[in-house]
Amino acid sequence: MALEIIVMIKQVPDSQEVVIDPVTFTLNRGAARNVINPADENAIEAALRIKDKTDAHITVITMGPPFAESALIDCMSRGVDDAVLVTDRAFAGADTYPTGLTLASTIKKLGKYDIIFAGEESTDSSTGHVGPGVAEFLGTDQASYTSESWYEDGFVYAKRELEDGTEIVKMKPPTLITVLTNANDPRRATLRKKIDAMKKGIKTMTLADLGMPPEWVGLRGSPTVVKSMRTIDEKKREGKKFKIEEIPKLVDELIEKKIISI
């Protein structure tokens, strides 16, 4: 029987384009285009690499607004079989706790799952909570911060990058793996797969489909309260121009200010 793989992704504003609103201190998402969270692209690739060698079926899921559809189609254009968008107004304002809970409920609804992949963290909030949270809600094993993973003889192996070395863990499915940013080189979409993806389309699930109580999700289900947020003003660096012939003067000044010593 085919291995059932789930990949959880998030659409984030392109970090190169995002700006912080100087008045409200929140991310001005409107200005930036939305992309797949970079680590999630590596998670997709990790899943596809298992499918390259093993009979597997991959479903990508995301919780987000309807325009997240394009990110899901993009995943299918790379070789993911199915895509589910979990979307509902009730999910708005969720912190990492109800997000994990909602995704875990979605995965349970989908039926059988052997391996769940997620990126290590998102570039727009960088908590790294959601992946491990889902593993806890589902009660599965987990391996976080992995650079490589493979499936062999009924076991899932994952290579974890730790501060003092690497660790290879062997786990029995079902299990959850979070993948490091840049862990691999994600493959590109192909035209054939993109056409198929657009024809097939994505599935959508709402709060009603999940059967969760509304007070468990979204802002209401979120224990985190953001008290305030502020940007740090960039400190203006002192600068001084010297002409080539003034280099001795520059050296003297640097010694005087104890920046260099001879």
Partner 1 sequence: MSEFDVIVVGAGPAGASAAIKLATSGSSVLLVERGDPPGSKNVSGGVLWGDSLGSVAPDWEKAAPMERYVEAKGVSFLTKDSKISIDFRSKKLQERRSGYTVLRTKLDGWLSKKAKDAGAMVASGITVDKLAFKDNRVIGVEQDGDIITSDIVILAEGANPRVAINSGIRERLKDRDVAIGVKEIIKLPEKTINERFNLTSSKMGFASEYVLGFLEGGVKAGGFIYTNKESISLGLVISMKEMRQNNNTRSFDLIEQFKEHPYIAPLIEGGRVDEYSAHMVQEGGLKSVPQLYGNGFMVAGDGAGFSFSNGMVLQGMNYAIASGIAAAESAIKAKIKSNFTREGLSSYEERLKSSFVLQDLMNFKGIEEVTWSDMIHRGIPNMSEELFLSLFSENGQPKAHLINLLIGAMGHSDVPRKDMVINMYRMLRRM
Site residues, partner 1 (CB under 8 A): 33, 74, 77, 188-192, 194-195, 198
57 vs 194 by CB, closer to partner 1: 194
**Min separation Cβ 202 and partner 1, Å:** 15
Structure tokens at 145: 């911060």
Structure tokens at 131: 């992946």
User: Cα–Cα distance between 249 and 153 in angstroms, integer?
Assistant: 70
**Min separation Cβ 193 and partner 1, Å:** 9
191 vs 259 by CB, closer to partner 1: 191
**Min separation Cβ 179 and partner 1, Å:** 22
**Min separation Cβ 191 and partner 1, Å:** 4
153 vs 234 by CB, closer to partner 1: 234
Cβ atoms of 178 and 145 closer than 8 Å:
yes
Question: What DSSP string runs through 158-210?
Answer: EEEEETTEEEEEEEPSSEEEEE-TTSS-PPPP-HHHHHHHHHH--EEE-HHHH
User: Cα–Cα distance between 91 and 109 in angstroms, integer?
Assistant: 17
192 vs 240 by CB, closer to partner 1: 192
**Min separation Cβ 118 and partner 1, Å:** 23
**Min separation Cβ 77 and partner 1, Å:** 8
227 contact partners, CB below 8 Å, separation of at least 6:
none
195 vs 251 by CB, closer to partner 1: 195
33 vs 108 by CB, closer to partner 1: 33
Closest CA to 96 of 132, 144, 141: 132
Query: Which helix H or strand E contains 248, and what residues bound it?
Result: helix 247-256
Cβ atoms of 154 and 138 closer than 8 Å:
no
Q: What angle do CA 249, 254, 256 make, to 5 degrees?
A: 95
**Min separation Cβ 53 and partner 1, Å:** 20
79 vs 133 by CB, closer to partner 1: 79
Structure tokens at 124: 């727009």
The one-letter amino acid at 131: G
